Chains A and B, each alone.
Chain A
Amino acid sequence: DVKVTQSSRYLVKRTGEKVFLECVQDMDHENMFWYRQDPGLGLRLIYFSYDVKMKEKGDIPEGYSVSREKKERFSLILESASTNQTSMYLCASRGTGGQQPQHFGDGTRLSIL
């Protein structure tokens, strides 16, 4: 079974802090993704990576950056946290190939005070 592990289930931070969300997958997947999910807005893609050190902006990259130094690890960074970044953050990974599904971590519920 594919395992995608996010470092924290719940996180509380203060406005202006630099926040790191970590994600690790154990299936040697090339592709990794960060989403946020807010009530009524569905999943919104922040950034994704298709290889080590490679990254592509998703639909809402502003205020975020990412790092992929190793294949199994994909980090999301909030450079200077703001209250409008309070959300559920979901990491996912996917192999390469048409019918490959995407596997999600448990999610991190982040509150910015």
Chain B
Amino acid sequence: RKEVEQDPGPFNVPEGATVAFNCTYSNSASQSFFWYRQDCRKEPKLLMSVYSSGNEDGRFTAQLNRASQYISLLIRDSKLSDSATYLCVVKPPGGYNKLIFGAGTRLAVHP
């Protein structure tokens, strides 16, 4: 089983739609969680951290469910500019500070 699993998509949605991505992680003791966004042929960039109580940043809402070991990202009122690949990222326990990246979920927003 992969340490971080995501549905690869693509998710094809019209502008204005609400779309949700889920991600599961295998290590129940994982400590920190993030969503990254990667545009085509560009580097990944931090979209938002994910906190235990859930958090929101504008049209984006992230949730963490530790009991079920999954993280979600909700995008409301999708824009064409939201088209990208969204990477789920987890920091497992242990002494090294490396993060584990999911393979990503591709989102395509169309007019």
Contacts and interface: CB of A to CB of B under 8 A. Distances in A.
B98 interface: yes
A contact face: mostly helix, strand, loop, or mixed: strand
A94 B46 CA distance: 12
Interface in A51-91: 56, 58, 88, 90
B99 A105 contact: no
Contact of A102 (B42, B99, B102): B99
B103 interface: yes
A48 B96 CA distance: 9
Interface of A: 30-31, 33, 41-43, 45, 48, 50, 56, 58, 88, 90, 94, 96, 98-107
B contact face: mostly helix, strand, loop, or mixed: loop
Contact of B32 (A31, A42, A45, A98): A98
A28 to B, nearest CB: 14
A45 B45 CA distance: 17
A42 B96 contact: no
Contact of B43 (A56, A96, A99, A107): A107
A107 B39 CA distance: 13
